[in-house]
Amino acid sequence: MPEGAPGTQSSGLVLVDKPAGLTSHDVVGRVRRLAGTRKVGHAGTLDPMATGLLVIGYNKATRLLTAITGSDKTYRATVRLGISTVTDDAEGEVLATRLANAVTPERVTAAIAGLTGDIHQVPSAVSAIKVDGQRAYQRVRAGEDVRLEARPVTVRRFEVIGFRRAADGTTVDLDVEVDCTSGTYIRALARDLGEALETGGHLTALRRTSVGPFSVTDAVTLEDLAVRFTATELSAAAAGLFPVRRLSALEASELSFGRRIPATGTEGTVAAQGPDGAVVALISDQARRGSAEVSEEVSAKPEIVFAPAGTPDAPGTSGSGA
Protein backbone atom coordinates (compact mmCIF):
# COMPACT_ATOMS: atom_id res chain seq x y z
CA MET A 1 0.00 0.00 0.00
CA PRO A 2 1.49 3.40 -0.96
CA GLU A 3 2.08 6.20 1.50
CA GLY A 4 -1.13 8.14 2.14
CA ALA A 5 -3.51 5.49 0.77
CA PRO A 6 -6.98 6.67 1.90
CA GLY A 7 -8.81 3.35 2.24
CA THR A 8 -12.45 4.05 3.03
CA GLN A 9 -11.71 6.87 5.48
CA SER A 10 -11.64 9.80 3.04
CA SER A 11 -12.80 10.79 -0.43
CA GLY A 12 -11.20 12.72 -3.27
CA LEU A 13 -10.05 13.03 -6.85
CA VAL A 14 -6.87 11.68 -8.40
CA LEU A 15 -5.49 13.15 -11.63
CA VAL A 16 -3.76 10.34 -13.52
CA ASP A 17 -1.59 10.73 -16.61
CA LYS A 18 -2.75 7.60 -18.41
CA PRO A 19 -0.10 5.76 -20.41
CA ALA A 20 -0.77 4.24 -23.83
CA GLY A 21 -1.83 0.61 -23.88
CA LEU A 22 -4.15 0.68 -20.86
CA THR A 23 -7.92 1.07 -20.94
CA SER A 24 -9.61 3.54 -18.59
CA HIS A 25 -11.03 0.50 -16.79
CA ASP A 26 -7.48 -0.80 -16.29
CA VAL A 27 -6.50 2.50 -14.66
CA VAL A 28 -9.54 2.43 -12.37
CA GLY A 29 -8.59 -1.09 -11.29
CA ARG A 30 -5.04 -0.06 -10.42
CA VAL A 31 -6.21 3.01 -8.48
CA ARG A 32 -8.72 0.84 -6.64
CA ARG A 33 -5.91 -1.40 -5.41
CA LEU A 34 -3.60 1.49 -4.57
CA ALA A 35 -6.30 3.45 -2.73
CA GLY A 36 -7.47 0.43 -0.75
CA THR A 37 -11.15 0.98 -1.54
CA ARG A 38 -13.65 -0.55 -3.93
CA LYS A 39 -15.61 2.61 -4.78
CA VAL A 40 -13.61 4.15 -7.65
CA GLY A 41 -14.68 5.58 -11.01
CA HIS A 42 -13.49 7.87 -13.81
CA ALA A 43 -14.83 10.98 -15.55
CA GLY A 44 -14.64 10.20 -19.26
CA THR A 45 -13.11 7.30 -21.16
CA LEU A 46 -9.78 7.43 -22.98
CA ASP A 47 -9.05 4.86 -25.69
CA PRO A 48 -6.16 2.44 -25.02
CA MET A 49 -3.94 4.20 -27.60
CA ALA A 50 -4.58 7.60 -26.00
CA THR A 51 -2.57 9.15 -23.19
CA GLY A 52 -3.17 12.02 -20.84
CA LEU A 53 -5.55 13.22 -18.20
CA LEU A 54 -7.95 10.77 -16.61
CA VAL A 55 -9.87 12.16 -13.62
CA ILE A 56 -10.47 9.44 -11.02
CA GLY A 57 -12.82 9.75 -8.06
CA TYR A 58 -12.88 7.50 -5.01
CA ASN A 59 -15.42 6.94 -2.25
CA LYS A 60 -17.93 9.83 -1.96
CA ALA A 61 -16.09 11.87 -4.61
CA THR A 62 -17.36 9.45 -7.27
CA ARG A 63 -20.56 11.50 -7.01
CA LEU A 64 -18.69 14.47 -8.49
CA LEU A 65 -17.74 12.56 -11.63
CA THR A 66 -21.00 13.17 -13.52
CA ALA A 67 -20.44 16.93 -13.35
CA ILE A 68 -16.81 16.56 -14.44
CA THR A 69 -17.66 14.23 -17.33
CA GLY A 70 -19.81 16.96 -18.88
CA SER A 71 -16.98 19.53 -18.78
CA ASP A 72 -15.17 20.82 -21.87
CA LYS A 73 -11.96 19.02 -22.79
CA THR A 74 -8.72 19.83 -24.61
CA TYR A 75 -6.73 17.40 -26.73
CA ARG A 76 -3.46 17.35 -28.65
CA ALA A 77 -3.48 14.92 -31.56
CA THR A 78 -1.76 13.89 -34.77
CA VAL A 79 -3.91 13.34 -37.88
CA ARG A 80 -2.50 11.39 -40.81
CA LEU A 81 -4.06 12.38 -44.14
CA GLY A 82 -4.00 9.89 -47.03
CA ILE A 83 -5.08 6.76 -45.14
CA SER A 84 -8.51 5.73 -43.80
CA THR A 85 -8.92 2.94 -41.22
CA VAL A 86 -11.82 0.93 -39.81
CA THR A 87 -11.38 2.48 -36.35
CA ASP A 88 -10.39 6.00 -37.51
CA ASP A 89 -7.11 5.51 -35.64
CA ALA A 90 -3.79 3.73 -36.14
CA GLU A 91 -4.97 0.53 -34.47
CA GLY A 92 -7.55 -0.30 -37.14
CA GLU A 93 -7.31 -2.12 -40.46
CA VAL A 94 -6.59 0.14 -43.44
CA LEU A 95 -9.69 0.76 -45.54
CA ALA A 96 -8.26 2.95 -48.31
CA THR A 97 -5.22 4.96 -49.31
CA ARG A 98 -5.38 8.15 -51.36
CA LEU A 99 -2.61 10.53 -52.30
CA ALA A 100 -2.33 13.61 -50.09
CA ASN A 101 0.17 15.39 -52.34
CA ALA A 102 -2.38 18.09 -53.23
CA VAL A 103 -2.99 19.00 -49.58
CA THR A 104 -1.75 22.47 -48.65
CA PRO A 105 -1.88 24.39 -45.37
CA GLU A 106 -4.46 26.72 -46.95
CA ARG A 107 -6.75 23.83 -47.90
CA VAL A 108 -6.42 22.37 -44.41
CA THR A 109 -7.37 25.71 -42.84
CA ALA A 110 -10.46 25.95 -45.04
CA ALA A 111 -11.54 22.38 -44.24
CA ILE A 112 -11.03 22.86 -40.50
CA ALA A 113 -13.29 25.93 -40.59
CA GLY A 114 -16.16 23.63 -41.57
CA LEU A 115 -15.48 21.42 -38.55
CA THR A 116 -15.33 24.24 -36.01
CA GLY A 117 -18.18 25.70 -33.97
CA ASP A 118 -21.56 24.00 -33.48
CA ILE A 119 -21.54 20.92 -35.70
CA HIS A 120 -23.36 17.59 -36.05
CA GLN A 121 -20.85 14.76 -35.75
CA VAL A 122 -21.28 11.06 -36.51
CA PRO A 123 -19.30 9.21 -33.80
CA SER A 124 -16.80 6.56 -34.77
CA ALA A 125 -18.40 3.15 -35.21
CA VAL A 126 -16.00 1.73 -32.62
CA SER A 127 -17.09 4.17 -29.91
CA ALA A 128 -18.47 3.12 -26.52
CA ILE A 129 -21.96 4.36 -27.41
CA LYS A 130 -24.59 1.72 -26.68
CA VAL A 131 -26.74 0.37 -29.52
CA ASP A 132 -29.66 -1.73 -28.24
CA GLY A 133 -27.84 -2.30 -24.97
CA GLN A 134 -24.47 -3.26 -26.47
CA ARG A 135 -21.40 -1.08 -27.05
CA ALA A 136 -20.95 -0.06 -30.68
CA TYR A 137 -17.34 -1.30 -30.73
CA GLN A 138 -18.48 -4.74 -29.55
CA ARG A 139 -20.91 -4.95 -32.46
CA VAL A 140 -18.20 -3.89 -34.91
CA ARG A 141 -15.83 -6.54 -33.56
CA ALA A 142 -18.61 -9.11 -34.02
CA GLY A 143 -18.72 -8.23 -37.71
CA GLU A 144 -21.77 -5.95 -37.75
CA ASP A 145 -22.00 -2.85 -39.93
CA VAL A 146 -22.73 -0.19 -37.31
CA ARG A 147 -24.02 3.24 -38.32
CA LEU A 148 -24.52 5.78 -35.54
CA GLU A 149 -26.71 8.87 -35.64
CA ALA A 150 -25.12 12.31 -35.86
CA ARG A 151 -25.20 14.30 -32.63
CA PRO A 152 -24.60 17.98 -31.85
CA VAL A 153 -21.20 18.92 -30.41
CA THR A 154 -19.22 22.14 -30.22
CA VAL A 155 -15.62 22.43 -31.36
CA ARG A 156 -14.46 25.68 -29.79
CA ARG A 157 -10.92 25.57 -31.23
CA PHE A 158 -9.37 23.36 -33.91
CA GLU A 159 -5.85 24.60 -34.52
CA VAL A 160 -3.00 23.18 -36.60
CA ILE A 161 0.33 23.52 -34.79
CA GLY A 162 2.40 21.33 -37.12
CA PHE A 163 2.33 20.33 -40.82
CA ARG A 164 4.64 17.55 -42.09
CA ARG A 165 4.59 16.04 -45.56
CA ALA A 166 6.07 12.57 -46.11
CA ALA A 167 9.17 12.45 -48.29
CA ASP A 168 7.25 10.61 -51.03
CA GLY A 169 4.31 13.01 -50.75
CA THR A 170 1.75 10.26 -50.16
CA THR A 171 0.71 11.34 -46.66
CA VAL A 172 0.57 14.51 -44.57
CA ASP A 173 0.74 14.54 -40.76
CA LEU A 174 -1.01 17.36 -38.93
CA ASP A 175 -0.36 18.12 -35.27
CA VAL A 176 -3.53 19.73 -33.90
CA GLU A 177 -5.00 21.07 -30.68
CA VAL A 178 -8.75 20.85 -30.07
CA ASP A 179 -10.97 22.47 -27.42
CA CYS A 180 -14.41 20.85 -27.46
CA THR A 181 -17.51 19.93 -25.54
CA SER A 182 -18.00 16.56 -23.91
CA GLY A 183 -19.03 13.88 -26.38
CA THR A 184 -16.82 15.12 -29.23
CA TYR A 185 -14.82 12.35 -30.89
CA ILE A 186 -11.36 13.44 -32.04
CA ARG A 187 -11.11 10.31 -34.20
CA ALA A 188 -14.25 11.45 -35.99
CA LEU A 189 -12.73 14.90 -36.56
CA ALA A 190 -9.69 13.22 -38.13
CA ARG A 191 -11.94 11.10 -40.34
CA ASP A 192 -14.12 14.04 -41.39
CA LEU A 193 -11.14 16.29 -42.05
CA GLY A 194 -9.68 13.62 -44.32
CA GLU A 195 -12.96 13.28 -46.20
CA ALA A 196 -13.28 17.06 -46.61
CA LEU A 197 -9.80 17.05 -48.18
CA GLU A 198 -10.65 13.97 -50.31
CA THR A 199 -7.70 12.02 -48.91
CA GLY A 200 -9.13 10.13 -45.95
CA GLY A 201 -7.58 10.47 -42.52
CA HIS A 202 -7.06 8.85 -39.14
CA LEU A 203 -5.45 9.52 -35.76
CA THR A 204 -1.93 8.34 -35.06
CA ALA A 205 -1.64 9.95 -31.61
CA LEU A 206 -4.03 11.43 -29.04
CA ARG A 207 -3.35 13.08 -25.69
CA ARG A 208 -5.95 14.70 -23.41
CA THR A 209 -4.44 17.76 -21.75
CA SER A 210 -7.37 19.14 -19.75
CA VAL A 211 -10.82 18.28 -18.41
CA GLY A 212 -12.76 21.30 -17.16
CA PRO A 213 -10.50 23.08 -14.63
CA PHE A 214 -8.08 20.14 -14.36
CA SER A 215 -4.79 19.99 -16.29
CA VAL A 216 -2.51 17.09 -17.15
CA THR A 217 0.39 19.19 -15.83
CA ASP A 218 -0.98 18.44 -12.34
CA ALA A 219 -1.45 14.72 -13.00
CA VAL A 220 0.67 11.89 -11.64
CA THR A 221 1.73 8.60 -13.20
CA LEU A 222 0.56 5.25 -11.89
CA GLU A 223 4.16 4.54 -10.91
CA ASP A 224 4.31 7.69 -8.77
CA LEU A 225 0.92 6.89 -7.27
CA ALA A 226 2.19 3.48 -6.21
CA VAL A 227 4.83 5.23 -4.06
CA ARG A 228 2.71 8.07 -2.67
CA PHE A 229 -1.04 8.36 -3.10
CA THR A 230 -1.52 11.98 -4.21
CA ALA A 231 -5.08 13.31 -4.36
CA THR A 232 -7.31 16.32 -3.83
CA GLU A 233 -9.74 15.71 -0.98
CA LEU A 234 -13.47 15.95 -1.62
CA SER A 235 -14.18 19.41 -0.22
CA ALA A 236 -11.27 21.06 -2.01
CA ALA A 237 -12.25 19.33 -5.27
CA ALA A 238 -15.89 20.42 -5.04
CA ALA A 239 -14.94 23.99 -4.14
CA GLY A 240 -12.64 24.08 -7.18
CA LEU A 241 -15.40 22.90 -9.52
CA PHE A 242 -18.28 25.15 -8.43
CA PRO A 243 -18.97 28.58 -6.92
CA VAL A 244 -18.90 28.40 -3.12
CA ARG A 245 -21.69 29.36 -0.70
CA ARG A 246 -20.48 29.64 2.88
CA LEU A 247 -22.99 28.29 5.36
CA SER A 248 -23.94 29.01 8.93
CA ALA A 249 -23.89 26.07 11.33
CA LEU A 250 -27.69 25.88 11.13
CA GLU A 251 -27.69 25.86 7.31
CA ALA A 252 -25.01 23.16 7.27
CA SER A 253 -27.09 21.04 9.61
CA GLU A 254 -30.25 21.51 7.52
CA LEU A 255 -28.48 20.51 4.30
CA SER A 256 -26.88 17.47 5.91
CA PHE A 257 -30.42 16.16 6.42
CA GLY A 258 -31.43 16.99 2.85
CA ARG A 259 -33.49 20.06 3.72
CA ARG A 260 -33.70 23.29 1.74
CA ILE A 261 -32.06 26.54 2.80
CA PRO A 262 -32.50 30.15 1.58
CA ALA A 263 -31.70 30.70 -2.10
CA THR A 264 -28.13 31.34 -3.21
CA GLY A 265 -29.03 33.85 -5.93
CA THR A 266 -26.54 32.07 -8.19
CA GLU A 267 -27.44 30.24 -11.40
CA GLY A 268 -26.39 26.61 -11.58
CA THR A 269 -24.76 24.30 -9.07
CA VAL A 270 -23.06 25.71 -5.96
CA ALA A 271 -20.77 24.01 -3.43
CA ALA A 272 -22.20 24.60 0.03
CA GLN A 273 -19.30 24.91 2.48
CA GLY A 274 -19.79 24.54 6.23
CA PRO A 275 -18.12 26.72 8.90
CA ASP A 276 -15.23 24.24 9.18
CA GLY A 277 -14.52 24.35 5.43
CA ALA A 278 -16.12 21.00 4.59
CA VAL A 279 -18.41 20.96 1.54
CA VAL A 280 -21.65 19.59 2.95
CA ALA A 281 -23.62 19.41 -0.32
CA LEU A 282 -24.01 20.60 -3.88
CA ILE A 283 -27.07 22.83 -4.12
CA SER A 284 -29.03 24.80 -6.69
CA ASP A 285 -31.86 27.33 -6.53
CA GLN A 286 -35.24 25.80 -7.39
CA ALA A 287 -38.80 26.99 -7.13
CA ARG A 288 -41.14 25.25 -4.74
CA ARG A 289 -44.86 25.83 -5.18
CA GLY A 290 -46.59 26.88 -2.01
CA SER A 291 -50.26 26.88 -1.03
CA ALA A 292 -53.02 28.53 -3.06
CA GLU A 293 -52.46 31.75 -1.13
CA VAL A 294 -48.66 31.76 -1.54
CA SER A 295 -46.80 32.19 -4.82
CA GLU A 296 -43.81 30.05 -5.86
CA GLU A 297 -40.92 30.25 -3.41
CA VAL A 298 -37.32 29.93 -4.59
CA SER A 299 -34.92 28.20 -2.23
CA ALA A 300 -31.68 26.23 -2.45
CA LYS A 301 -32.26 22.50 -2.78
CA PRO A 302 -29.52 19.91 -2.19
CA GLU A 303 -28.59 17.95 -5.34
CA ILE A 304 -25.96 15.77 -3.66
CA VAL A 305 -25.40 15.58 0.09
CA PHE A 306 -21.93 14.60 1.30
CA ALA A 307 -20.83 13.80 4.84
CA PRO A 308 -21.68 16.58 7.35
CA ALA A 309 -18.88 18.68 8.83
CA GLY A 310 -16.76 16.85 11.37
CA THR A 311 -16.79 13.45 9.62
CA PRO A 312 -13.66 11.82 8.11
CA ASP A 313 -14.20 13.70 4.84
CA ALA A 314 -13.76 17.10 6.46
CA PRO A 315 -10.56 19.04 5.66
CA GLY A 316 -7.54 17.99 7.65
CA THR A 317 -8.64 14.40 8.11
CA SER A 318 -7.89 12.99 4.66
CA GLY A 319 -5.30 10.27 4.46
CA SER A 320 -4.32 11.25 0.93
CA GLY A 321 -1.64 13.69 -0.16
CA ALA A 322 -2.42 17.24 -1.16
- Please compute the mean of the pLDDT values over residues 27-45 and round it to a whole number: 96
Write down the pLDDT at residue 297.
84
**The dihedral sign for the CA sequence 213, 217, 220, 223:** positive
**What pTM does this model have?**
0.87
Active centre residues (catalytic):
47
* Chain-centroid distance, C-alpha 304: 20
pLDDT tens, position by position, 138-192: 666 666 666 778 999 999 999 999 999 999 989 999 999 999 999 999 999 999 9
Q: Identify the CA nearest to 93 among candidates 131, 116, 125, 68.
A: 125
pLDDT value at 131 more than 70: no
Q: DSSP code of 258?
A: T
Amino acid 148: pLDDT: 74
Distance CA 205, CA 89 (A): 8
Q: What is the pLDDT of residue 311?
A: 47
For residue 77, the SS3 value is strand
Element (H, E) at 145: none
